[in-house]
Structure 1
Amino acid sequence: MLKFIISVFLAMDVFGFHQIPSEQSQQSQTETQTQQQKQSGETTENVKKVVAKQQDETGDTDPDLQLAVISDTHISTTKQSVVKKFETALQDLNTVAPEYDVLAVGGDMTDHGLPSEYDLFNSVLKANMNQNANTFMVIGNHEWMEKKVNRNSKVTDSQLIERFKSKMNVPGIYYDQSIQGYHFITIAGEKSESTMLATYKNEANADSAYISDEQYNWLEKTLANDADSTKPIFVFLHQPITGTVYGSEWGAGLEDQKILALLKKYPQVILFSGHSHYPLNDSSNIVQDGITMVNTSSVAYTYTKGTGKNTVQSQGYVVNVYDDRVEFKAREFSTGTWIKTVTIPISKTNQLN
C-alpha cells in the first residue's frame, strides 16, 4: 500500500499544474491555480522527504553541485513589478536551496541593456542572493536593445559588449568557467537588434543569435578541454536551438543547427536556454536529442502564443547534480511551490526518468 501511495504522489509531481488558458480569465483562474499549486507543492515536499530518507540510508543525500537557474528578469527602472518578482525569486531560492553553489542567469537580465537597468539588477542581486554562491551570467537579446528606446543613441555593438562585461564582471559575451570541478560555458549572439535588422532586412532575424566562425572555433576547442564523459558540461545560450524544447519556435536561428551538431559530440552537455518565456509545466521543457536541452522559462512573466502573457507566473529551476544523475526541480516563485521534478542519469543521457 505504501508503494502505491508513493507512486500516486510521484505521478502528481511529474505532471504538475496546468497553464492558464486565456488572459481574460487569468485572475480568477490564477486563484484556483494557486490553490492547486499549494496542494501539489505539499505533496511534492512529502514525496521528497520519503526519497531523502531513502538516500540517507545509502549516504547519497547532498548533491555534488547545486545550481539555481533563472532567466529573463527584464529589470527596468520603470517597472517595479518585475523588480519585486526578481526579489521574490531570489528570496524563494534562499528558502528552498539556501546553500546553492551557483546562480546562473540565462540572459535578458535587463529590459533594454541600459546602465541604470544593470545597476538596479546588480543591486537587487547583491541584496538577495546567497552571498557564498558563484554567479554565471549570460547575455540575452534584450541587453542589445538601447536603440529601441532611444533612437538617437549612438551606442555601438562594441560598446554594448564592453558594458555587459563591465556590469556583469565577466570576461566576454562568450566565455567559460570551472566551478567546483564542473565546466560552465556560455555562447552568445554577437550583434545588436539594430545591427541584425540592418544586416538581414527583416524582423524575423532581429532576435536571432549571430555566432561568428571565431566563436564557433572557440566553442569547439573549449568543449574538448578536459572533457569528462562522466560529468555534465553546462552550456548556456539565451535563445533555444530551433525545433527542440518548448518555445523553440523563438529559436536562435541562423547557424543554430551547426551549433547543435557540435554540442552533440559531447552527450554529457546540458544546454540551458530562456528567451521564449514558455512556462515549465509542459513535458517538452526538457528534451533529449544527443544532448539534454532545458527551457528555463522566465522570472518576469510567462508567455505562449496560445495564452499570451501571464504576468502572475514567475519560474526557474533548482538543479541538483549527483555522481550518477542530474535532478531538475521546476519552481513557481510566485506561490513558492514545486511544479515538477525531472531526473536524468548522467551515464544515459538519452533517457528521461
Structure 2
Amino acid sequence: MTPPSRRSILTAGGLSLATIPLGGLTAGQAAARPKPTAAATLDVISDVQGDLADLGRALDNLAALGRSDALVIAGDLVAQGTVQQYEDLYGTLAAHSHPERVLAALGNHEQYNSDPFDAQVKRFLQYTGMPDVYSQTTAAGLPLLFIGTTAPAKNGTNPPFVTLGASQLDWLDGALATHADKPHVLVFSHHVLPGTVSGTVGPDAARFYDQDFVDEADLLTILGRHPNVVFFSGHTHWDLNRDDWAAKKVVEGGDPAGFTVVNTGFIQTMYGPDGSGGEEALSGAESQGLRLLVGEGGELTVESRDFRRDKLIRTLTL
C-alpha cells in the first residue's frame, strides 16, 4: 500500500466522509517484489454491455493466468436486458474457458427495456442463477455479499438507480456483523458509492456519480462500521491506471480505519473526464478488470489487469 497522496472531504446524505486514494504498486514496482503466493483466486469483471469480443479476450487472458475459484460479473452483463442478449452472453461464456462458478450483481443495463421491473429481475435471476438481487455466498474462502436495487430506477436511464430498502439494509447490517471476525468481506455492487473511486472523487469527477443510491447515507453508515469490508463497484468505466482506482473510505461515526473501495474496470468502452464536470468516451478498444489473490495468511491482493494488452496494471495488498 502506498501512502495516501490526497485526502478529500465531502458530505453525502449529511455524513462527513474522508476518501484516501490507495494507488497500490505499479506493474514495474510489483515486478521488483516477490509475487504473492495465492491459496485461492477470484476474477472480477463488469460492464460487458454486449461487447462479446472483448469479453472473450478478457476470459482468455484470465484463464491463461491459471485456475480461479469463481468469476464475478459486477453488473451490466448485457446492453438492454433482452432474452437474446442473455443468450449471446452465456454463449460467449460457454465458448471460452472460465471458472465453473459465475456470480453476478444486477446493473442498470439489465433494466433498459420496456418490461416490468419484476420481469427484468426474474430474467436476470433465471440466467445468472443468483438467488435474489441481494444475497451472500462463499468463494475463494471469503464471504461474498451482493447488493442491488429492489425497485425500478426513479428516472429511467438517469440516476438515482438503486433503492436498497429497509429489508436489504437490515440484511446487510446483519451479514456484515456475522462476518466481523473475518479478515475480509467482499461486497459487490454494480453501482458506485459517492466520493470513492475514479469518476466520483477529485477535481475531474463526473458529478452525477454521486447520485447512484437513493439510500446512500444508510448504506455508508453500515459499511463504515466494518473495516474488513472491500467494496467492489463498476458502472463508471474509468481507467484502472489512475491512482484513485482504489481508496479507503472513512465515514463519520464509523470505524476510523475506514473500509476499502475498488473500481472493477469495464469490458465495454473506457470513459474519462470531459473537463466540465462530466465524462466522455475515450476508447472502445480498451478493456480492464481484476484478479484477486487470497494468501494463506488471509492477505488479499487485488491485481488490476489490461485485457487489451494482456498485462498487469497495478497491485494492491490489503
TM-score of the pair, normalised by structure 2: 0.80
SS of the residue 2:308 aligns to? coil
Cα RMSD after superposing both structures: 2.1
Assess, with a 3 A threshold, how the Cα gap between structure 1 residues 46 and 244 changes in structure 2: closer, same or farther: closer
Structure 2 counterpart of 1:191, from 141, 144, 151:
151
Aligned position for 1:68: 43
Displacement over 3 Å in runs of 4+: 13-16, 43-47
CA 1:191–1:315 in structure 2 vs 1: closer, same or farther (change >3 Å)? same
Following superposition, the deviation at residue 46 of structure 1 comes to: 4.7
How far the C-alpha of 1:321 sits from its partner, in A, is: 1.6
1:204/1:86 CA distance change after superposition, 3 Å: closer
Following superposition, the deviation at residue 304 of structure 1 comes to: 1.2
| Aligned equivalent of 2:302 | 328
Question: CA 1:14–1:224 in 2, change beyond 3 Å: closer, same or farther?
Answer: closer
Secondary structure at 2:244 match in 1: helix
3-state secondary structure, aligned to 1:122: helix
Unaligned runs of 5+ in 1: 1-12, 17-40, 53-60, 76-81, 148-154, 345-353
C-alpha distance in 2 between matches for 1:332 and 1:301: 13
Contact 1:15–1:281 (CA<8 Å) still a contact in 2? no
Q: Aligned-pair distance for 1:336?
A: 0.8
Return the alpha-carbon distance in structure 2 between the equivalents of residues 229 and 136 of structure 1: 24
Question: What is the aligned counterpart of 1:308 among 273, 280, 300?
Answer: 280
Match 1:295 to one of 252, 256, 263: 263
Residue identity over aligned pairs, in percent, reads: 23
- 2:30 and 2:54 map into 1 onto residues whose CA distance is 23
1:262 — aligned with what?
222
Does the 8 A contact of 2:54 with 2:267 survive in 1? yes
- Whether 2:58 is the aligned partner of 1:94: answer no
Please, what TM-score do these two structures have when normalized by structure 1? 0.72
Q: Which one of the candidate residues 75, 80, 95 is aligned to 1:127?
A: 95
Contact 2:63 2:98 in 1 (8 A): yes
2:184 equivalent in structure 1: 232
Distance 1:117 1:263, change over 3 A: same
Determine helix, strand or coil for the equivalent of 1:339: strand
Q: Distance in 2 between matches of 1:244 and 1:180?
A: 25
C-alpha distance in 1 between matches for 2:46 and 2:218: 24
Query: What residue in structure 2 maps to residue 4 of structure 1?
Result: none
For the structure 1 residues 83 and 224, does the alpha-carbon distance in structure 2 shift closer, same or farther, using more than 3 Å as the test? same
Residues 44 and 125 of structure 1: CA distance in aligned 2, closer, same or farther (over 3 Å): farther
Deviations 1:20-79 (A, max 9, x none): xxxxxxxxxxxxxxxxxxxxx6x57853xx514xxxxxxxx632321111100002xxxx
- The alpha carbon displacement at 1:339 in A equals 1.1
Q: Aligned pairs, how many?
A: 274
> CA offsets, 1:168-197, max 9 Å, x none?
11111111112254211011022334xx12
CA deviation map 1:101-151 (0-9, x unaligned): 1211100000011111111111111221334x422211101101112xxxx
User: Aligned pair in 2 of structure 1 residues 156, 228: CA closer, same or farther (>3 Å)?
Assistant: same
Q: What secondary structure sits across from 2:164 in the alignment? A: coil
Q: Alpha-carbon deviation of 1:229?
A: 2.9
Q: Which amino acid aligns with 1:160?
A: Q
**1:111 pairs with 2:79:** yes
Alignment of 1:1-353 (within 5 A): 16=26, 43=28, 46-47=31-32, 51-52=34-35, 62-75=37-50, 82-96=51-65, 98-131=66-99, 133-147=100-114, 155-193=115-153, 196-197=154-155, 204-205=158-159, 207-225=160-178, 227-248=179-200, 249=207, 250-251=209-210, 252-289=212-249, 290-306=258-274, 308-309=280-281, 310-322=283-295, 323-344=297-318
Q: In the TM superposition, what whole-angstrom CA distance separates every residue of 1:248-300 from its partner, at most 9, and x where no partner exists?
A: 34242321132121012221110000001111011111111211000112111
Bigger proportion of residues as helix: 1
Q: Which has the higher contact order (CA 8 A, sep 6+)?
A: 2
User: CA 1:341–1:119 in 2, change beyond 3 Å: closer, same or farther?
Assistant: same
Letter of the 1:257 counterpart: A
Distance 1:14 1:222 in 2: 29
**Higher fraction of strand:** 2
Q: Contact 2:198 / 2:245 at 8 angstroms: preserved in 1?
A: yes
- SS of 1:210's partner is coil
Contact 1:104 1:135 (C-alpha < 8 Å) held by counterparts: yes
Q: Find the aligned partners of 1:223 and 1:242 in 2 and give their Cα distance.
A: 20
Distance 1:45 1:293, change over 3 A: closer
Q: Which amino acid counterpart does residue 175 of structure 2 have in structure 1?
A: T
Q: Which amino acid aligns with 1:107?
A: G
